[in-house]
Structure 1
Amino acid sequence: MTIHVASEASTHSGVQRKAGSETLLSLRDLTIGYGSKVIQKNISMDVKRGSIFAIMGGSGCGKSTVLRTMIGLLRPLAGRYTVDGDDYWSGPDSHRTALNRRFGVLFQSGALWSSMTVGENISLPLEMFTRLDKDMIRRLVELKLGLVGMSHAIDLYPSEISGGMAKRAGLARAMALDPDVLFFDEPSAGLDPITSARLDDLILTLRDGLGATIVIVSHELSSLFTIADDGIFLDAQTKIPIAHGAPRDLRDHCQDPQVHAFMHRENSADPTPPPAVRKDTNTHG
């Protein structure tokens, strides 16, 4: 059974989802910053419907600041941002609120309310933006937690679960209203490699199973190469994007020194021992 809650909220807000448009999110000549301090400028990119788009770059380049602009937490200094052709920042606050109901956001820490159970955290957006009764909300919470393998944790508090579980619970909450777009800010931060790989698999499963469009901020190469279809690379020094494309393509073909150093940093030291060492440690000969 498929239950679409966000469609109810979107219809009542006056924002209708558009079908047939390949580009869902579009940034044109965007400049972002705080007051007179420019963080990034000349940002132009298109996020295709059903894709996983990566915002990449070194520390301090403005990746999370771009994400803040895309989810409505920071007004750009210049440029245009559209969601399904609707200008996000030109309308009234009510219009942005309606568009935001099409978004789900997973913050770095999971951002769960510590005084609420996992189930109560996930039910919060359903209680705020729908007219569903408590029994239906409980069923939807169980469904979302089941999608991320967290059904057993519905009545636990955030302090009673691990960091990886908190990330998955945060993801379940991000999916509560069946959003068109999921925004992930460093989803693998603080996770061990195995948990991180499982989260990548979960993200791919959700994209393929739910048809969601995903925008991810990350510097984790293994994750970027595994899940991202397209992306943009931001440079902290020039404060402009210096490369566009899938992370795997940028790794293999981009000649820009900054991009090359970023994409190959895990290969700077070859972990494979030389042949003589491997021969000496072979216990099967």
Structure 2
Amino acid sequence: MMSEQETLISVRDLQLSFGPKIIQQNVSFDLKRGSIFAVMGGSGCGKSTLLRSIVGLLRPTAGQIMVGGEDYWAQPDDRRTAINRRYGVLFQSGALWSSMTVGENVALPLEMFTSLSQAEITELVRLKLGLVGMEHAIDLFPYEISGGMCKRAGLARAIALEPDILFFDEPSAGLDPITSARLDDLILSLRDGLGATIVIVSHELPSLLTIADDGIFLDAKTHRPITHGSPRALLDCTIPEVTAFMHRSATIPSQTEQKAEQHV
């Protein structure tokens, strides 16, 4: 049985650029099995860019992303595609196809990457939607449901193929505090119930403090990470940029208060 401390992804000395413009450099961290890893930092620091590189949408200009001991970007296209089957991604808006129902959106990866029958796919779609509390919306279109429901439907699609690692890009963006707290609770239940490892890009402080147990802080000015650790540990960090980010509100809710809010 694999240890909870097993390293699933190792990022080493990564540099991300658009032409001559460096977005981030010297990025190194390990993603451990069972963790919820936060990519933190202010607007424009390259959080989403880093995520895109890890999931195979942007080739880095230097450094390595090791997945299970394999250098991801050194692999041929077919091998990278196989590695990507281990991933599930929730984009900022949910990224649902507007011309397809919620059920059809969730079914899409199952139809593309498995040989399951239509009956088996339908059963799995209902199961995945049930896990996120969305089975009732299976025949609805994205424009017929709320933003929070779109996020949950996108999450159901992300877990359709039962990936090892889930990537969430600003999952709470645009949501009201109660809906955001419920989404946090759902993310924790997926980690605990499915055994998924999660990477979350976010600047939402209550969410970060509630769910993340490890992380990296990216700086927009120096274009490099300036510290590592869980969001709660970074509350005591004395680096000015981190202090400003972590103490944006007058009061930080306790873990007990956050849990109570999640069940409102």
Question: What band does the TM-score fall into relative to the shorter chain?
Answer: over 0.9
Query: What's the CA shift for 1:268?
Result: 7.9
* TM-score after normalising by structure 1: 0.86
- 1:57-206 aligned at under 5 Å gives the runs 57-206=41-190
Inter-partner Cα distance in structure 2 for 1:140 and 1:86: 31
| Aligned counterpart in structure 1 of residue 17 of structure 2, from 33, 36, 42 | 33
Structure 2 SS opposite 1:265: coil
Query: What's the CA shift for 1:144?
Result: 0.2
Inter-partner Cα distance in structure 2 for 1:68 and 1:32: 10
| Aligned counterpart in structure 2 of residue 232 of structure 1, from 212, 216, 228 | 216
- The amino acid of 1:256's aligned partner reads I
Alignment coverage as a number of residue pairs:
251
Match of 2:250 in 1: 267
- The amino acid of 2:29's aligned partner reads M
Query: What's the CA shift for 1:37?
Result: 1.3
Larger radius of gyration: 1
Inter-partner Cα distance in structure 1 for 2:161 and 2:22: 34
Tell me the C-alpha RMSD between the 2 structures.
Answer: 1.3
**Which 5+ residue runs of structure 1 have no aligned equivalent?**
1-17, 270-285
Query: What's the CA shift for 1:19?
Result: 4.2
Deviation sequence 1:92-121 (CA, Å, 0-9, x none)? 011110011110000000000000000000
Query: What's the CA shift for 1:36?
Result: 1.8
Inter-partner Cα distance in structure 1 for 2:247 and 2:208: 12
* TM-score after normalising by structure 2: 0.93
**Which 5+ residue runs of structure 2 have no aligned equivalent?**
253-264
| Aligned counterpart in structure 2 of residue 209 of structure 1, from 193, 196, 219 | 193
Inter-partner Cα distance in structure 1 for 2:185 and 2:109: 25
Inter-partner Cα distance in structure 2 for 1:34 and 1:266: 34
Query: What's the CA shift for 1:84?
Result: 1.4
